[in-house]
Structure 1
Amino acid sequence: MITHSLSMLAVAVSVAVSATSVQAAEQAPAAKADKNIEQISVLGSRVANRTATESTSPVDLIDADDLNKGGFTELGQSLQATAPSFNFSRTQVSDGSDLFRPATLRGLQPDQTLVLINGKRRHNQSIFGLNGTVGAGAAGTDMNAIPLTALKGVEVLRDGAAAQYGSDAIAGVINLSLNDSTGVTTGYVQAGSTGEGDGDTISMGLNRGFDLGDEGGFINFSLEYRDADGTNRAQRDTGGSVDVPAGTLSDEVRWGQGNADSEFTSVFYNMALPFGETELYSFGGYSNRTALGNGFYRNFDQAAKNVVQVYGDGFLPRIDNEAEDISFSIGLRGELNPDWSYDVSAVYGENSYDFTSKNTLNASYAAEYVASNPDASDADIAANAGPNGGYSGGFRFDQTTVNADLNGIVDIGRSEPLYVSVGVEYRKENYEIVPGEEASYACGLANSDTSFPAVNDSSVFAECGFQAYNGLRPEASNKESRHSYAFYVNAETLITDAWQVSTALRYEDFSDAGDDIIGKLATRYEITDDFAVRGAISSGFRAPSLQQSAYTAYTTNLGAGGVLLQSFTATAGSDFPSALGVDSLGLESSENLSAGFVYNVTSDLSLTVDFYHVEIKDRITLGSLMSADDVAFSAEAVAALNATGAQQANYFSNSVDSTTKGVDIIASYRTDLYDGNFSATFAGNINETEIDDVNAPEGIPESIALDDLQRSFLTDGQPGERATLTFEYDRGDFNSMLRFNYYGETDVKYFGNDHIGLPDELSPTGEFKDTSTVESAVLVDVNMGYQLTDELMLSAGIDNIFDVTPDELGEDEALDFITNKAFKYPVRALPYGFDGMTYYAKLSFSF
């Protein structure tokens, strides 16, 4: 086993070794004056003077100026435009997706990338993408909860780093460094819109730092606000109404396909206060976001879902999403002696998501009323149809992390000492599901065990609960807690002036999922002053999150034939998964190999190439929804499903062994040109994920453990190729940027006919397409800026200047059919969205 071999080798190379958590690293400031000066990297090494190109693993250094070019106001979008191995897929009409998007590295899951702020572990979000999305079932870090104004820079470690930084770092680590400037006020005001004339956005930010004391102390504050109108790329539909026969185009656009109306407010701070040989530091922030999203339109004649006495033309249910995020960190670091330093810290983070349904109804309320009052008038039915909205429930997650670290050098009788870091970590996590108000989930006003015949068609039963976001029931509410502790050691030295070796070893124990020992061995060798090779071999693991092990909810999802069905997600170990051989969730384990080189071709041109190979065993997935027919081979499973009251159900399991392999290529060129500075940067990623094995319990078909829908998201839901080519030119007061963004094709079965299963004779072309495809594309962004005065800069730009969107849906696509031609584009696995061209103007100030 590679895990055992690594552990033994790590112990042999040094005393130790287990994950040097960035938490223990002393941060060295990045070079600010000249981008040509190599920047100090916090990630990947414990040695304070290591630069990114000297690291044994690939590290991207992205400063705040680069993040703010291109008109993007969200951190996730900015990272996607600058780091091609980072994906930030868009998803539409999927609960919660109007506020968060899955952030991934190297095509893996959102919860397989660890995010840090100032080298300290950031908490995860309380909610995850549900069935039919990239990153389904993975509660990663909410990247858009962090304002760009607060950042000094971002480091992206593209290598397996669980042994260095802890569970979740299978794909890599993203470290967000907060602004530490003082004595200057900076900020901006930006306004923009789309080429279609919708999506008007205004955002503004402010940052100011103050000196504290006479020994270099500081406190820095950031404020940011964004307000964005929604976009809609839906079209008129042919669903009909009580006055218009089905098949006739509606007079107006009734469906919604686009970004939600949204608002974002945040405040962050960063502080350090030295006294003597010790420094007290603290940082944290608060953010609040709201977004008013859409569900699927409920046609007037869907009697189980609609009451025509209330909505004669049908209705578009809306979901009001609200996310609140709080974080606070405090620590003490200093020198024990000239060779050793310490860092003791505590970090608290809290994330909540709440859902309020609007423009909706609970069809069972009117159905119960009519069952008791069969001669009721239309006016009476409408008056007794219950509320048209209300609180549908929410999720809470909080995390407390405590670290104590020592960093120092050990004289081993050579010119280069052994750099050692040791530490311990304790983490406590809490998760809660908050039920909605009774009308959001109830079966009739009396909330009985069964529903009633629909008001407008007694041959079907009226559905219980609000449409679009069926409320979280009290029986599905849940509170769970757990804790973990870890011990880790890291050692690094130069064997010769040209050969660097580092090792890491970590032991971590989770109260609910077990323990593991993991290790890493990395090396870098300078063949010449300009050419070096590097590589690493590591093991890792990820414990199932509380969001996975404790989640349960009733939702509404699309079933076979394009019909919306009530669905249930069962907790691990409950009756339904147990009947199918899944009694609990275990650890994911990984083995990571990487190799590459750094080549300074000339003083102006550099090239890095890094290959990677990641094998993950017992990968946790959220299975697809299964009906009683799907599990008919097990009478016990059918009975367990029926007991939930839902028509289909799913659950989490350690269902997959997979291999992800690829290559990252970065080439950078800088030179003087016509009294100005010219640079060109190419960054590309090629990535492929394959399913090695499906871990189906004995007697359970593989298609139950992992069906084709989930398989397609894992292997083809994210672009297999990504690249950016950026040209920048600065001269005097003028600066400009031209960026080409390439996105490879995505192709998933969700919302294709492999998912919907429509008879081909319903297609005007005689056959429906099997899958949902988003074609490869090149998007071009242009930005220009001019320094008006010493204090003011004006910039303007156009993103996606050629208005590139995915190919429009054709008559042979199932999504076109089931939305009555309302949806113009695919709605899943969209790496670049479908809003098309956007433009903006920005006024920045500094004084």
Structure 2
Amino acid sequence: MMNTRFQPDGLALAIALALTSSNLYAETSEVTQIDANVEKMSVLGSRVSSRTATESAVPVDIISAESLSRGGFTELGQSLQASVPSFNFSRTQVSDGSDLFRPATLRGLQPDQTLVLINGKRRHNQAIFGLNGTVGAGAAGTDMNAIPLIALKDVQVLRDGAAAQYGSDAIAGVINLSLKDTTGETTGYLQGGTTGEGDGDNYSIGLNTGFDLGDDGGFINLSLEYRDADGTNRAQPDIGGSSTIAPGTLSDDVRWGQGNAASEFESVFYNAMMPVGDVELYSFGGYSNRTALGNGFWRNFDEAAKNIAQVYPDGFLPRIYNEAQDISVAAGIRGDINDDWLFDVSGVYGQNRYDFDSRDSINASYAAEYLHNNPGATDEDIAANSGPTSGYSGGFHFDQTTFNADVSGFVEIGRDAPLYVAFGTEYRTENYEIVAGELASYSCGISNADSAFPSVMDPDVYAGCGFQAYPGLRPDAAGQADRNSYAFYLDLETQLTDTWSLGTAARFEEFSDAGSDLVWKVSSRYEVTDDFALRGAVSTGFRAPSLQQSAYTAYTTNLGPGGVLSDSFTATAGSDFPSALGVDSLDLETSENLSLGFVFNATDAISVTLDAYKVKIKDRITLGSLLSADDVAFSPDAMAALNATGADQANYFSNSVNSTTQGVDLIVTYRTDLFDGDFNATLAGNLNETEIDSVNAADGIPEDVALDDLQRSFLTDGQPKQRATLTFDYSRNDWRGMLRANYFGETNVTYFGNDHIGLPDELSPTGSFLPTSVVEAAVLVDINLEYQFTESLSVSAGINNIFDVTPDELGANESLDFITNQAFQYPVRALPYGFDGTTYTAKVNFSF
């Protein structure tokens, strides 16, 4: 018989990883949906089987699947943003692959500085990152929306540095996604929704079922989910003109696209366990595929470098078709060594692929070369030889394999409480590949010449090469890279007295391409009284540069000074261009993390947790801004390297920044009986600020080359410095209602402001342009009402953003209004709450 101390979703998951040596507390609130009458083991946290979630040295939120799905959201990232104020899920428009994924961040740091687990096992990162001036630019985090909500039992969010327990990426914290393990019941839902503007119609279907495997507690749980959403568009008629409308006159139709991309998602996940003798065999994993059709900027009819009037006489809107495929599988064996010791051995494989097609586009150089070789060609001939208007632009592929061997138990040390010990090792391999697009997506003419050709519309202007909006990845940018790493860890924990616990952790990890580090953590909790406890931790941490950062190279189209689109190149670390500027390689990021807080049960109905934190990061990796020949004129070697790329401007990754992020998390909960029903209120807030301490620039290299104002603005002001949610939840008999207010602080970035675009003031109708792009602070109010018809059928309806709050509309003195010919209503970067306005949802939940 197996020892009953062993629990598949509790201690065993903790054993499998280098978790914090302290006890993690899940606040009993609407945010966490914890039943105060049930003792729950913290999945993230102690390896001690007797610990409960009401004991804590650092904060963790445990959010039930029911809470995640109640707000009408179908995406995991949106649900977490509504539940955890320190979690940000920024919206971005017209930014290539960001139409399909959104940067998920914790405590104002980068997406790749938060580690994501599934069932306690490391989840692979996505193959792509944001490029064109986005929150999290250059950071390949985890694609949160690749995981279906229907498959989740709950989510734990550890809000503390945990690199000493998990290794690379856990500087900001850890998010663990627990898959369902239920059997004997099938549950599902049907949901539909739309926006207040009548667009963005969407529906989703989810189904979950489970079966017993044998008679000893084995199970397999299966989940299916499908989502389909039409795009939204908040653009307006523009004044770009056409073959029949003079420039400066409003177009008859809305031609630009500013909104969410049309998207489709399908997925299947499983979770299984089978006892075999004295051990348990387990496995879980899933497959998901998502597509999205995003927009580029409208190409005006008279833009000779970009358009072929014989094909698009009135201009065109190039589209980017994104496809993301995600596969993961984990398998392992765990069990008792004896009454005091447990083991867990596992392997996890994950793969992520992002591929891009250009649609409704054109390679203007095809027709230009044809006309160059056939000077007397007719318009019909030019149109017939202008090349394809769609095709494959390339892709990025990443896979990761992780092996863990872990042992956990306790040693009697002559005290009332034993010493709890955990140790283990991890080995990981990673592979990254850049796949070139088809010839027409990147070439200069059908012959792929070394130089451009005069445009068919203006012989004094050279035709652009490659597809518009998303130029293809060239063969010289394609390639593969791989690496491996190994780690050893040791955790110790004990109860010094009945009221004082102490834990320590240490981890050594080495990467084949980035070096090694030894990090540590000390955490403690002291109960001053039965109702008041202090908690805190101090730790060091690190993050290794990802292969996506160290091996990435590509040509892109970016918006440069004067509103001009130009070819840009991202150079690999250690290549000629960054080396000429003093950057020969990427090193580890290192961190120091301090947290201190308290837990106070003021009454049986009111509880308060407050946690302050400070995170200092040294050698933080950033993707530099694009540098032109003028920017690097001080270095002849850099100018020569830039010219050799054939691009107008180039950038690269570097360890450019030392920063400090500090803030406070507050959660206040209130529970009571009200009018024969249950009333819960939760206030959850986060104050957060990041400052640049210093810039790492090589001797002779100006600091604004290593880190310019554009990068600074996204790091320090691209995410809200204040976030809060106030949730009221009331249930009585078969009715349940929720009212939630979400507060988002202001964001203020240089991108699409005049500090970035640099438009002459005389072009402004008001005589000047604003320096930055601001998204104002806002409060969005959501409401949801649910009725339980029977034990197996309920119906709910909700309105999100009931007061139709959007950012302030662009004015004539804003650069984005000018360069879009008045088509865009709102800012498009650093949008914490989007601009879709009010949305409506209706949902049917069923079980049998």
Q: Which bracket does the TM-score occupy, shorter chain normalised? A: over 0.9
Letter matched to residue 235 of structure 2: A
Distance 1:142 1:41 in 2: 24
SS class of match (1:458)? coil
The number of aligned residues is 831
Indicate conservation of the 8 Å contact 2:344/2:407, yes or no. yes
Indicate conservation of the 8 Å contact 2:23/2:56, yes or no. no
Aligned equivalent of 1:165: 166
Indicate conservation of the 8 Å contact 1:52/1:58, yes or no. no
Aligned equivalent of 2:6: none
- Deviation sequence 1:318-372 (CA, Å, 0-9, x none): 0000000000000000000010000000000000000000000000000000101
Q: Please tell me whether residue 232 in structure 1 is matched to residue 205 in structure 2.
A: no
Distance 1:346 1:23 in 2: 21
Alignment of 1:642-661 (within 5 A): 642-661=643-662
SS class of match (1:457)? coil
Deviation above 2 Å: which 4+ runs of structure 1?
17-20, 22-40, 48-53
Aligned equivalent of 1:128: 129
SS class of match (2:361)? coil
**CA displacement at 1:49 relative to structure 2:** 3.2
Aligned equivalent of 1:738: 739
SS class of match (2:804)? coil
Indicate conservation of the 8 Å contact 1:23/1:120, yes or no. no
**CA displacement at 1:26 relative to structure 2:** 14
Q: Please tell me whether residue 47 in structure 1 is matched to residue 44 in structure 2.
A: no
Distance 1:745 1:220 in 2: 43
SS class of match (2:846)? strand
**CA displacement at 1:52 relative to structure 2:** 3.0
Distance 2:807 2:358 in 1: 30
Aligned equivalent of 1:539: 540
Alignment of 1:206-225 (within 5 A): 206-225=207-226
Aligned equivalent of 2:608: 607
Cα 1:799–1:785 change in 2 (3 A) is same
Letter matched to residue 185 of structure 2: V
**CA displacement at 1:276 relative to structure 2:** 2.7
TM-score by length of 2: 0.97
Cα 1:743–1:118 change in 2 (3 A) is same
Indicate conservation of the 8 Å contact 1:74/1:147, yes or no. yes
Q: Please tell me whether residue 619 in structure 1 is matched to residue 620 in structure 2.
A: yes
SS class of match (1:448)? coil
Aligned equivalent of 1:774: 775
Distance 1:303 1:241 in 2: 13
Indicate conservation of the 8 Å contact 1:19/1:488, yes or no. no
Q: Please tell me whether residue 298 in structure 1 is matched to residue 299 in structure 2.
A: yes
**CA displacement at 1:25 relative to structure 2:** 13
SS class of match (2:308)? coil
Distance 2:491 2:567 in 1: 50
Q: Please tell me whether residue 75 in structure 1 is matched to residue 72 in structure 2.
A: no
Aligned equivalent of 2:88: 87
Aligned equivalent of 2:707: 706
Aligned equivalent of 2:204: 203
Distance 2:664 2:795 in 1: 38
Aligned equivalent of 1:141: 142
Aligned equivalent of 1:408: 409
Indicate conservation of the 8 Å contact 1:22/1:119, yes or no. no
Q: Please tell me whether residue 246 in structure 1 is matched to residue 218 in structure 2.
A: no
Indicate conservation of the 8 Å contact 1:201/1:228, yes or no. yes
Letter matched to residue 521 of structure 2: K
- Percent identity over the alignment is 73
SS class of match (2:97)? coil
Alignment of 1:218-617 (within 5 A): 218-617=219-618
Distance 2:687 2:38 in 1: 29
Letter matched to residue 448 of structure 1: A
SS class of match (1:368)? helix
Letter matched to residue 693 of structure 2: D
Aligned equivalent of 2:633: 632
Indicate conservation of the 8 Å contact 2:21/2:504, yes or no. no
Return 5+ residue gaps in structure 2 as ranges.
1-13
**CA displacement at 1:672 relative to structure 2:** 1.1
Indicate conservation of the 8 Å contact 1:487/1:506, yes or no. yes
**CA displacement at 1:497 relative to structure 2:** 0.4
Q: For structure 1, which segment, 757-766 or 21-30, has the greater mean C-alpha deviation from structure 2 after superposition?
A: 21-30
Indicate conservation of the 8 Å contact 1:20/1:489, yes or no. no
Q: For structure 1, which segment, 34-43 or 603-612, has the greater mean C-alpha deviation from structure 2 after superposition?
A: 34-43
Q: Please tell me whether residue 21 in structure 1 is matched to residue 21 in structure 2.
A: no
Cα 1:26–1:695 change in 2 (3 A) is closer
Distance 1:52 1:316 in 2: 53
Cα 1:39–1:111 change in 2 (3 A) is same
Aligned equivalent of 1:760: 761
**CA displacement at 1:590 relative to structure 2:** 0.2
- Deviation sequence 1:742-790 (CA, Å, 0-9, x none): 0000000000000000111211111110000000000000000001122
Aligned equivalent of 1:13: none
Distance 2:336 2:604 in 1: 38
| RMSD between aligned residues | 1.8
Indicate conservation of the 8 Å contact 2:537/2:594, yes or no. yes
Aligned equivalent of 1:829: 830
Indicate conservation of the 8 Å contact 2:196/2:838, yes or no. yes
- Deviation sequence 1:492-514 (CA, Å, 0-9, x none): 11100000100000000000000
**CA displacement at 1:34 relative to structure 2:** 3.8
Distance 1:148 1:27 in 2: 24
TM-score by length of 1: 0.97
Indicate conservation of the 8 Å contact 1:623/1:651, yes or no. yes
Indicate conservation of the 8 Å contact 1:25/1:42, yes or no. no
Aligned equivalent of 1:724: 725
SS class of match (1:244)? coil
Distance 2:708 2:313 in 1: 39
- Deviation sequence 1:701-721 (CA, Å, 0-9, x none): 000000000000000000000
Return 5+ residue gaps in structure 1 as ranges.
1-16
Letter matched to residue 665 of structure 2: D
Distance 2:25 2:261 in 1: 40
Indicate conservation of the 8 Å contact 1:18/1:504, yes or no. no
Indicate conservation of the 8 Å contact 2:17/2:121, yes or no. no
